């Protein structure tokens, strides 16, 4: 048994085989939790579990409550099966999360990814960031944190889990949450694709209920940036905002409004004065 665990809900089109390089050592085990019948994985160094039909979090809730083996691992990553990732990136994610003492974490999403939330995307100015939101798509947990948050899976009757990624940070007091930009993965499928409109309505309704019932919301804020040396960069709120904007410039070409949302998310960290009538006179250096 290795020290970390990747536990994935997978189907026939899963990309989990890209995660393992048999020619290299690794410090994490892979356990598959299929939601449909898949081909035998005897040639892959993994544990293939029994089929548990249903959405991602329906199966994970059942497995995590019935199988104690996950409690023997230091960190547990629960990715979607449409994530393209290298073994090196997964190992780097676990290592950085451990060294930075992140309790809830995720790898940054590669810039070619399909995405929903800008904060989940890799920021080129940082190796990692302390944040207020970790998306439901690829969350990682310390063992103690997963133990603490496990009961919240009962709140998602649809099994999609939307809204839990806003509740979890609040339950953790918005502390020790991180996105690891230096270990990116690629999300290969479009987000929010429902089989029918009724399912989409129920998922969104459930998310609204979770947020309202727990007085929480999506906090797309970055509290601090971390460099390659794993040290927090000394940036005041204004400098942090500038760095975030620089590191996410590639997003603005697709969706210019993201710039506004970044500024709005960071504004509570600063005491920005009203714009003065005289302007802000600056002379060239």
Residue 265 burial by CB count (10 A; 0-12/13-18/19+): exposed, middle or buried?
buried
Q: Helices in 17-70 by DSSP H: which ranges?
A: 56-66
Q: What pLDDT sits at residue 192?
A: 73
Q: What pLDDT sits at residue 270?
A: 84
Residue 142 phi/psi, 5° resolution?
-70, 160
How confident is residue 216, by pLDDT bands cut at 50, 70 and 90? very high
Q: What is the mean pLDDT of residues 259-277?
A: 90
Per DSSP bridges, beta strands 47-48 and 28-34 are parallel
Q: What pLDDT sits at residue 154?
A: 98
How confident is residue 122, by pLDDT bands cut at 50, 70 and 90? very high
Which among 223, 28, 26 has a CA at the least distance from the CA of 134? 223
Q: What pLDDT sits at residue 276?
A: 87
Q: What pLDDT sits at residue 188?
A: 98
Asked if residue 213 has pLDDT above 80, the reply is yes
DSSP per position, 130-192: EES---TTS-EEEHHHHHHHGGGGGG-SSSS-TTHHHHHHHHTTT-SEEEEEEEEEEE-S-SS
CA distance 267 to 237: 8
Asked if residue 194 has pLDDT above 80, the reply is no
125-147 confidence digits (pLDDT tens)? 999 999 999 999 999 999 999 99
Residue 45 phi/psi, 5° resolution?
-75, 85
Q: What pLDDT sits at residue 161?
A: 95
Q: What is the mean pLDDT of residues 204-226?
A: 97
CA distance 76 to 249: 32
108 SS3 class: strand
Q: What is the mean pLDDT of residues 232-252?
A: 97
Q: What is the mean pLDDT of residues 140-161?
A: 98
Q: What pLDDT sits at residue 229?
A: 98
Q: Which domains does the chain possess? A: 4-267 (3.90.550.10)
Q: What pLDDT sits at residue 285?
A: 78
44-74 confidence digits (pLDDT tens)? 999 999 999 999 999 999 999 999 999 999 9
Q: What is the mean pLDDT of residues 178-204?
A: 91
Longest dimension (CA), the chain: 72
72-89 confidence digits (pLDDT tens)? 999 999 999 999 999 999
Q: What pLDDT sits at residue 193?
A: 74
Encoding tokens for residue 252? 């603005």
105 SS3 class: strand
Q: What pLDDT sits at residue 195?
A: 78
Mean of pLDDT over the chain: 96
């Amino acid at each position: 048994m290795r020290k970390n665990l990747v536990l994935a809900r997978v189907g026939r089109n899963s990309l989990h085989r890209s995660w393992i390089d048999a020619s290299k050592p690794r410090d994490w085990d892979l356990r598959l939790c299929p939601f449909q019948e898949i081909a035998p994985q005897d040639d892959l160094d993994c544990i293939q579990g029994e089929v548990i039909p249903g959405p991602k979090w329906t199966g994970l809730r059942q497995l995590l409550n019935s199988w104690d083996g996950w409690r023997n691992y230091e960190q547990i990553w629960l990715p979607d099966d449409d994530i393209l990732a290298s073994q090196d990136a997964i190992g780097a994610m676990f290592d950085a999360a451990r060294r930075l003492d992140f309790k809830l974490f995720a790898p940054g999403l590669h810039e070619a990814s399909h995405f929903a939330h800008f904060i989940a995307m890799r920021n080129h100015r940082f190796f990692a960031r302390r944040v207020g939101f970790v998306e439901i798509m690829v969350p990682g947990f310390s063992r103690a944190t997963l133990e603490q948050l496990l009961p919240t899976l009962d709140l998602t009757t649809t099994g999609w889990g939307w809204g839990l990624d806003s509740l979890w940070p609040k339950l953790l007091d918005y502390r020790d949450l991180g996105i690891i930009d230096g270990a990116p993965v690629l999300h290969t499928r479009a987000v929010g694709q429902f089989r029918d409109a009724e399912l989409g309505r129920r998922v969104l309704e459930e998310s609204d209920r979770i947020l309202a019932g727990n007085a929480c919301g999506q906090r797309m804020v970055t509290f601090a940036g971390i460099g390659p040396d794993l040290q927090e960069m000394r940036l005041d709120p204004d400098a942090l905002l500038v760095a975030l904007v620089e590191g996410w410039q590639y997003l603005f070409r697709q969706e210019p409004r993201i710039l506004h949302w970044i500024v709005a998310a960071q504004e509570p960290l600063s005491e920005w004065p009203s714009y003065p009538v005289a302007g802000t006179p600056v002379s060239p250096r």
